[in-house]
Amino acid sequence: MINRPSSKLDSLASTTRASAFFISVVSLDSADLLFVSCVKIASISLCLFFLMISDIGLRSGWFIARVMMYMIILYQKYYYVIIQYFEVRLIVMKIKDIYQNYKLMPNLRLHMYRVAGVALVICDNISETVDRDSITAACLLHDMGNIIKFKLDLFPTFLEPEGRDYWQKVQNEYFEKYGKDEHDATIAIAREIGVNDKVMRLLKSIGFTQAKENYESPQFDRKIVAYSDMRVEPNGVVSLEDRLRDGRKRTRIHKPNSHDESLFEEMSFFLRKIEKQIFEKTSISPDDITDERISKYVSKLSDFELSVHKS
């Protein structure tokens, strides 16, 4: 008969031996090594936690260890059945393939490449710790639904070589599937693609009316993605002031019933403050961000790889 240990230290030692036992009896396939190792560590930690905070004793400690051991064995046996049931997997997609799948207009692709290029210049020159890949992914996806708001007759050259009829058909498909709000469409597409939560949060932070919240946020990732979008017009990189003037003009075209000048001035004020926040932390100035400077990034971004969850 096993006697109750005299102290928690004895219980700890006994549980360690039990844990070592069930680690030794579970064989690992190489494909499962990392995951099962994590499960084992969590199991041991939980068992030790129970023993440290209570007087459950050696008998109960052994019981917990054995239960966890059998759970891991069952996991190994039925791992592939579980995976096939849920059919959830992590895959890598190139951004150019995503653009192709969603029939993005060439000018829209180039716009997002340029925005990502601006963001990368900032990331490579800022003293703050930032998530470079998540920032890049958000910039490359931030206007995925924008064909919804396009006035197709406004820039006829952007419709070539496919022609207006083709892009009108694509736009109608977007209307039918995603509705009439381009930002909602972009978020829906990002969910379809399977981006992670960090990228999704960054996508939701991009937008003119998010300027105050982005300014107040301590997260520079948010500031960078939002600011980078405000440095690119249809024909390339411009200053923030030029972009604000263009934004006012385009708002009057796309949303003629919007007359909230006070909101525009308020958001413009916070965008200028975001610019100051960013460049106080960098070794460059806003004027250093040019088409020429971002070109080395833009030329490579079509091969950017995005890890996404697919079900």
Local confidence band at 22 (pLDDT 50, 70, 90 cut-offs): very low
Dihedral, 178, 180, 181, 185 alpha carbons, nearest 10: 20
C-beta of residue 138 within 8 angstroms of C-beta of residue 126: no
For tokens 């007359």, the residue is: 259
Domain boundaries, the chain: 8-87, 92-310
89-94 vs 236-237, strand pairing mode: unpaired
DSSP string, 202-237: HHHH-SGGGHHHHHH-S-HHHHHHHHHHTTEETTEE
Task: Please measure the distance between the N-terminal and C-terminal CA atoms of the chain and give it in whole angstroms.
Answer: 51
Query: Closest Cα partner for 229 from 210, 251, 256?
Result: 210
| 127-152 confidence digits (pLDDT tens) | 999 999 999 999 999 999 999 998 88
Phi, psi (5° rounding) for residue 93? -125, 140
| Confidence at residue 116, expressed as pLDDT on a 0 to 100 scale | 98
Tens-place pLDDT, residues 216-233: 999 999 999 999 999 999
What number is the average pLDDT over the span 264-276? 95
For the segment 192-203, the average pLDDT, to the nearest whole number, is: 94
| Mean pLDDT score, 87-97 | 82
pLDDT, average across residues 58-87? 62
154, pLDDT greater than 90: no
Architecture of the domain defined by 92-310: Orthogonal Bundle (1.10)
- Report the chain's mean pLDDT, rounded to a whole number: 82
Task: Give the span between the Cα atoms of 166 and 9, in whole angstroms.
Answer: 74
pLDDT at 289 over 80: yes
pLDDT over threshold 60, residue 17 = no
What is the per-residue pLDDT for 203?
96
